[in-house]
Amino acid sequence: MAEASEPAKVGAATTVESSQAGGFDDSTKKTVQKIPLLKTRAGPRDGEKWNQRLKEEYQALIHYVKINKENDNDWFRIKSNKAGTRWEGKCWYYHENLKYEFDLCFDMPVAYPATAPEIRIPELDGKTVKMYHGGKICLTVHFNPLWSKNVPRFGIAHALALGLGPWLAAEVPDLVSRGVIVAT
C-alpha cells in the first residue's frame, strides 16, 4: 500500500461543537468522528481501571490505523511498554513527494486523562519555535483546550489525530523550506 502524502487531516469528535474545532478541515473532522470515544476515566496509577482504559486506548488506536489504511493515509507506528505508560514509535510526513520520518515518544502523565500526553520528537528539539525543551511539540493553543473539554473521551488516537498530525502538516514544510531537515 502506498503511503499518503501527509498525516491524517483530523478534527473534532462528534461530541465537540464545530466552534471548538476551529482550524481543522472537513476531512480532519470526518476522520476523528470515526475514532471511538473512550469511557473510562483512569490513569497509570489506577490499577484495574487503568487496564480497562488501556483496552479502550488500543481499540481506538487500532480503529484509527484501520481508517488511515483504508484511506491510504498510513503515517505512524506506535507501541507501548507493558504497563502502557511509555509509548514510542515513528511518524512520517510527505512533502513535495519526499518522505520525512521521525522518532516519536511520550509518557502518560500521572494526571491522565485530565492531562494530555506531551508528544515528543526529540530530533527536532530546538529547530522550530513551535516546540518545547526536549522536543515536545507545542499543542497549547489549539489542541489542549479541545482535549480538556473532552476528558475522558479523548485518548492517544485523538492526540495523534488532532495534535501530532496537524503539527507535522504545519511544521514540516516550514522546516524543509528553511533547510533544517532533509528527506529520509
Residue 82 grid cell? 507493558
Q: What distance lies between CA 127 and its chain's CA centroid?
A: 20
Q: What is the DSSP string of 93-115?
A: EEETTEEEEEEEEEE--TTTTTS
Distance CA 175, CA 22 (A): 24
Residue with cell 515528543: 120
The residues assigned a catalytic role are 138
Residue 36 · residue 60 · CB < 8 Å: yes
Distance CA 84, CA 43 (A): 10
Distance CA 50, CA 44 (A): 6
The conformation of residue 160, written as its DSSP 8-state character, comes to I
Helix, strand, coil percent content, the chain, rounded in steps of 5: 35, 15, 45
Distance CA 69, CA 64 (A): 9
